[in-house]
Amino acid sequence: MKRLGSLIMLVALPTLLAGCAAKPPSKAETKIANWTKHHVTVGGKKDINPIKASEGSIDEGKQSFTAYCMVCHGLDGQNTGVPFATTISPQVPSLASAEVQSYTDGQLHWVIKNGIYPSGMPPSSGDFSDKEMWQMVLYIRHLPKAGSLGEPAVYGGAAK
């Protein structure tokens, strides 16, 4: 009986290990996932940002973003200096990407507030006020040039 168990494990182990290998999603899977997020799972589509874009409100959004979001998205929102951004699955999206920028302001606010499970995007509800989250939306809409702010100090970089 012990020998049979060992034989089963010897045969099953390669299958188990192969099942653990993560593969990037196909183009079709990515398209379906993005459509689902934009039209089904992410709320707030019709919510309007009550804060007007101004130098001051965008800067306030940048300050809140820098205090929390830069760990995964970099100081510039484009993953500059984030060592794991492209090595995890799903990858951390650049906030300047067409995928992210195609969300409405209300959807961006909803994502900041509620997160996206199981993507790794955590909710910020309770960490920021509603006003601060809307200001972060403004910052995301007005991101600086990639790399222009340097790399997060937490990863050994220095802000410019």
CB atoms within 10 A of CB 105: 19
Q: What is the pLDDT of residues 56-101, one digit of tens each?
A: 999 999 999 999 999 999 999 999 999 999 888 888 999 999 999 9
Q: Where are the domains of the chain?
A: 25-153
Task: Indicate if the pLDDT at residue 36 is higher than 80.
Answer: no
* Cβ–Cβ < 8 Å for 142, 53: yes
Closest-CA residue to 119 (of 93, 154, 156, 155): 93
The set of long-range contacts for 84-93, using a CB threshold of 8 Å and a minimum separation of 24, is 88/120, 89/22, 89/24, 90/25, 90/119, 90/120, 92/120
* Homologous superfamily (CATH) for 25-153: Cytochrome c-like domain (1.10.760.10)
pTM: 0.79
pLDDT for the residue 22: 63
